[in-house]
Amino acid sequence: MQPFTLTWDADRLAWLRERVRAYRMPRLPEGAGWRYGCDPDVLRDLCAYWLDGFDHEAAADLNRFPQFLARIEDLDIHVVHVVGEARGKRPLLLTHGWPGSVYEFWQVIEPLAFPSRFGGRAEDAFDVVVPALPGFGFSGKPRAPIGPRTTARLFDRLMREELGYARYHAQGGDWGAGVTAWLALDHAASLEAIHLNYLLVQPDAEPSTEAETRWRKGALDAQGRLGAYADLQGTKPLSLNYAMADEPVAQLAWLVERFHDWADLRERPFEAVFPKDVLLTNALFYLATDSFGTATWYYAGAREEGARRMPEGSRVTVPTAFAAYPDPRTLAPPREWVERGYAVSRWRDMPRGGHFAAMEVPDLFVADLREWARG
């Protein structure tokens, strides 16, 4: 474990700004909005702000939490590790997804680690551990695509061997939900309980009730409308990488489109849910570290691992909490379907928040995790 200070390379930032300034928009349909991809007006506005208003150092205070690099097998893993009021008594592993980063949890780390600073109870505190997925941000880049099952092995070693936590809680959404599920399947002895806000690893079963069949149809419809990126990244990521190389505006558009399409925008406009500083700071974890390409490999790695479905006859026996947010990416499954593959001990239907729960509704996210861990 080596202490780590997060700094953006000044030459890389200058190069990115030069590329942004020189970018020329392609021919676009009139009044496109978000219908065919990233809204051109939103993208232009973000690029203008990046050049003339974005303070990358002040925007997020990215060194306010202790950070380290841990060598696990043949990869460096960037990890945020905050020893809270729990003082080692309740470790919590938080795993992000794509197109997120460790920054996905920036608003919730301190309330989870030090609840008494936010009107909560000290006994609800966690030691918070937030690693970056391999190939993402400041973590090392694998030689070939790997997915959530391999990542679960690496993160379990991080928790036990590097940080000294024999047993711990784990939470995740998006790919983080995949890593968390595989921790429970392959490393159950290390876990106290898991918490999911997305179902990525499906039970080894087929729908057999009306509710399950209806949900499966809705999930397939959502994949057809919103999932072209995943099909490409899971089968031919290099084709995308060739097109996106040295094109920060194109990479930004690819990332921002997901934040828009997967957010709960019923009560707030997009710019209120995800301010420009938030979108650009998160994007820098891809653009400034040259990890846009290797992050897309994760989809191919997951496909090669067969990571989206449990092995035949297997089931998660670790106590599992599920927070069903109104996620536009894929609506939450019926509880009966989740129970086919997981030992569901807690279920909460959340009133607000989409795919990026910790970023969109941090107060709800924190309160839910506190209540879960008490049980």
What domains, with CATH codes, occur in the chain?
Answer: 1-375 (3.40.50.1820)
Cα three-residue angle 180-184-187, rounded to 5 degrees: 110
Distance CA 165, CA 262 (A): 34
Phi, psi torsion values for 18, nearest 5 degrees? -65, -40
Q: pLDDT (tens digit, 9 = 90+) per residue, 291-321?
A: 999 999 999 999 999 999 999 999 999 999 9
Which among 234, 244, 259 has a CA at the least distance from the CA of 148? 234
Confidence (pTM): 0.97
Percentages helix, strand, coil for the chain, rounded to the nearest 5? 45, 15, 40
Sign of the torsion formed by the C-alpha atoms of 304, 168, 366 and 286? negative
pLDDT in tens, 319-368: 999 999 999 999 899 999 999 999 999 999 999 999 999 999 999 999 99
For residue 281, is pLDDT > 90? yes
* Predicted local confidence at residue 88, as pLDDT: 81
Q: Measure the CA–CA gap between 127 and 84, rounded to whole angstroms.
A: 5
DSSP 189: G
Residue-wise pLDDT for 153-177, tens only, equals: 999 999 999 999 999 999 999 999 9
